[in-house]
Amino acid sequence: MDMTIDNEWKLLYSHNPKIQAFAIMKNGEIIWVTRNWNNLVDATESLATASSSGASSISVGGVTYRLVAADDESYIATADKDQGHLLMALVEDDTWAIAWATPDSVPELTIVDLAKTAIQLMRRL
């Protein structure tokens, strides 16, 4: 499974290098995360309910991201002061692909790339 996720991460990053960090959350636990996103684990409880609750904001590593859009299959939030975007795309059931994108990315377009990766991971985790 780790190799599968790692390969999909590498493909995602090569397609969109503005996505700088990536993780997979399954059943409310981070099961895979890039080395540069260690503080994500502390926010799993909030992340697990962000999409379904339409949380107006979420805090990860001391940065607060404010809701841009949310539905049953995605969550997009943006931080103030050029601190980037937090994106979530549903893989299946309670499994989510989570990404951090640079401030100069367009989150509404970047979520499309993340959603494509989520589709590639379906039935493989």
Dump the DSSP string for 60-119: ETTEEEEEEEEETTEEEEEESTT--EEEEEEEETTEEEEEEE-TTS-HHHHHHHHHHHHH
Report percent pLDDT > 90 for the chain: 90
Residue 41 has pLDDT above 90, yes or no: no
Q: What kind of fold does domain 2-121 have according to CATH?
A: Beta-Lactamase (3.30.450)
> Contact 57/77 with Cβ under 8 angstroms?
yes
Q: How does pLDDT run across 53-104, given as a tens digit for each residue? A: 989 999 999 999 999 999 999 999 999 999 999 999 999 999 999 999 999 9
Domain boundaries defined on the chain? 2-121
pTM reported for the whole predicted model: 0.96
Confidence of residue 52 (pLDDT cuts 50, 70, 90): confident
